[in-house]
Amino acid sequence: MAHFRILIMATAASVLGAAEWPQFRGVNASGVSDAANLPVEFGPAKNVIWKTTLPPGHSSPVLTADRIFVTAFDADKLYVITLDRANGKILWRREIARTRKQELHKSNSPASPSVATDGKNTYAFFTDFGLISHGPDGEERWRVPLGPFNNPFGLGASPILANGKVIQVCDSETGSFLIAVDQHNGRVAWRVDRPDMTRGFSTPVLYQPRDGGLQVLVAGTSRFIAYEVETGKEIWSIRGLTWQMKPTPVVAGDIAYVLGWAGGSDQGNQEKIPPYAEVLKEWDANKDGKLGIDEVDPRYRKDIEESDFDHDGFLDEREWEKFREKRSSINSVMAVRLGGSGDMTGRSILWRFYKSLPNVPSPLLYRNVLYLVKEGGILTALDAATGSVLKQGRITGAVDFYYSSPVAADGKIYTVSQSGQVAVIKAGPDWEMLALNAMDDEVFATPVPLDRYLYLRTRTALYCFGN
């Protein structure tokens, strides 16, 4: 694992220090740091090193040696904000005109993706704008407008850096793509269409094969795909994912843990739906050669309306096939062996687990245990080698929704519910609660454990906690 982290960190433009957190969930989105002496008990009036009021935004803090980066929004503007890591003072705030207001799920925001940093510059993505980069003093370096996007929930994937490129996935009901731009000037290096993908929110991760070039891995509708970082060429893929991917995978050496949950796709709900030509022949009542939503069997009506991606009142063959895929997909967390070429499904899936799966929070791999945090405060510890359950239980006092992903350091796991209940858990196969801390505010962002401090963004502020 340590060797792998060094390889991934070397892809950035500068070597990042051990006490940095350069993107969503840290180095390669692992959610793990080497911090020590972290606080167990804290809150708005306890063990606060500093607190800074911020405008709203769901993005998680990203840290360099001396700075913290977040994004935010208001009715007319989008913001990239830089703070002093030592005292929380805002060093600069740059505005981007919010020229459009895309449809969003109530749990999403126009500033959900976290920035990426190379140690000096920032790279941010907004659903309502696209990509933008700022320098150390807040000077704009370049911008790449993208969108609008046909995603009814808004986008959520964060940008990542690899081999001098900024990589961003933009999965929507139509027009999905993966793009890489030069991190120095914003020029498009490559762009790959992803026509088989519908709405998706998972941040890409990186994989360095022992005998090949760096790969970017993207979890999307039904498939986990590896692309060549230098060219965008698809190298290999694994089928079997659910139809709407939100959590970000975790990579450890040559193994990845891929989690996906979507409504209606729990084990046992799968249904075999006839192909388009067959249903068109049976249900096209007015014989106009088109499948109208009002012609479809009423038991499918709700899902069919969601599959009318272009909102024209009819389902073409792609829309129907995506509906079929949705009704046959299955939620799971799986361990997969990385590498190969072409379709690796039959040779790569090591194990699958189907129960008590989170909707949004990403999995956490820490000391050979895979942790899952689900709505209702259900925490499941799985043996990372076999997928067997080691322990499952509720996080007492934090039984609401979860959008923040768990993180780990110092032998502890930190989980945060939407209502701001922060659980500190002793890590291990037989995990146990150490403390529950109330923030008295909503939390959507993922916390950051670094050095001796825990950085936590609530709906209204950014906190630094320490002993």
* Mean pLDDT per 10-residue section of the chain, whose length is 467 residues: 41 47 98 97 98 98 97 96 97 96 92 97 98 98 97 96 98 97 98 97 97 95 98 98 97 98 94 92 90 88 86 93 94 98 96 97 98 98 98 97 98 98 98 98 98 97 97
248 assigned to some structural domain: yes
Are residue 34 and residue 161 in the same domain, yes or no?
A: yes
Chosen domain end from 369, 396, 427: 369
Are residue 242 and residue 126 in the same domain, yes or no?
A: yes
pLDDT of residue 7: 41
Give kind and range of the element (H or E) at residue 22.
none
Are residue 165 and residue 220 in the same domain, yes or no?
A: yes
Record the tokens describing residue 416, joined without a space.
């945060």
Are residue 251 and residue 319 in the same domain, yes or no?
A: no
456 assigned to some structural domain: no
pLDDT of residue 215: 98
Are residue 280 and residue 258 in the same domain, yes or no?
A: no
Domain that holds residue 75: 2-264+334-369
Cα 331 to the center of its chain, rounded Å: 16
In our burial notation (b when 16+ CB lie closer than 10 A, e otherwise), range 374-398 reads: bbebbbbbbebeebeebeeeebeeb
128 assigned to some structural domain: yes
Mind spelling out the 3-state secondary structure of 277-291? HHHHHHHCCCCCCCE
Q: Find residue 84's DSSP bridge partners.
A: 67
453 assigned to some structural domain: no
The count of domains in the chain is 2
* CB of 116 closer than 8 Å to CB of 161: yes
404 assigned to some structural domain: no
Are residue 313 and residue 258 in the same domain, yes or no?
A: no
pLDDT of residue 365: 98
455 assigned to some structural domain: no
Are residue 169 and residue 308 in the same domain, yes or no?
A: no
d(CA 256, CA 346): 16
Record the tokens describing residue 127, joined without a space.
């659903």
316 assigned to some structural domain: yes
Are residue 191 and residue 298 in the same domain, yes or no?
A: no
The burial of 187, by beta-carbon neighbours within 10 Å (0-12 exposed, 13-18 middle, 19 or more buried), is given as: exposed
Q: In terms of Cα–Cα distance, which of 444, 462, 423 is closest to 50? A: 462
Are residue 168 and residue 311 in the same domain, yes or no?
A: no
443 assigned to some structural domain: no
Are residue 12 and residue 96 in the same domain, yes or no?
A: yes
| CATH number, position 63 | 2.140.10.10
Give pairs for 36-39: CB < 8 Å, separation 24+. 36/409, 36/410, 36/452, 37/410, 37/452, 37/467, 38/409, 38/410, 38/412, 38/449, 38/452, 38/453, 38/454, 38/467, 39/453, 39/454, 39/465, 39/466, 39/467
Are residue 129 and residue 73 in the same domain, yes or no?
A: yes
Are residue 311 and residue 342 in the same domain, yes or no?
A: no
